[in-house]
Amino acid sequence: MRGLRSLLATAVAAAVVFAFPALASAGDLTLEVSGDCPGQLTLRWSGAEPNRPMAIAYADTRGFYVIAGRCEGTELGLSSIGLRLIVVISSRSGGSGRVAGRAGTPECGGWLQLVVASGHGAPCVTSNVVQIPE
C-alpha cells in the first residue's frame, strides 16, 4: 500500500473527515481515475462542496461498509477488506481538483471512493466508487 499512500500523501490526518456528523449519499460528487497500474495514476474529482475536508478511501473489493464514529451511518460502496483511508485533502475552492502519483502492483484492481465533510451542518457525502486499472 506504500505506493498508493505516496500517490496521494500521508494519512496522518485521516480522522479529520470523520469529525463531521451524519449520513449522506452520492449526488453530483464524482471521482475518476486514469493512468496505468502499476505506474502513474491521476485521480480527478468534481461536484464537491468547495473548501471542505475530503478523504479518499481504498478497499480491495466493493461492498457496503457503514462508517462508525462521528460520521456514523455513512455508507461506503467499499467492503471492509483492506479498507483504509489514503489521505485527507481539501476539495479546493471550485469543488474540483486532482492528485497524481505512482501506484504499485498491490493497489492494481482495488477500489476508491471520496467522502466529503459538508458544511452548514449538512452530512458527509460520498462519491461514486472507481476501480484502479489492472
pLDDT digits (tens, 9 = 90+) for 12-49: 223 233 333 333 444 589 999 999 999 999 999 999 98
List the one residue out of 63, 109, 64, 115 whose CA is nearest residue 86: 115
Pick 71 or 27 by higher pLDDT: 71
What pTM, to 2 d.p., does this model score? 0.78
The domain segmentation of the chain, as residue ranges, is 2-131
Architecture of domain 2-131: Sandwich (2.60)
The answer on pLDDT for 6 being more than 70 is no
* pLDDT the model gives residue 72: 72
Grid coordinates given for 72: 456514523
* pLDDT the model gives residue 122: 61
**pLDDT > 90: what percent of the chain?**
46
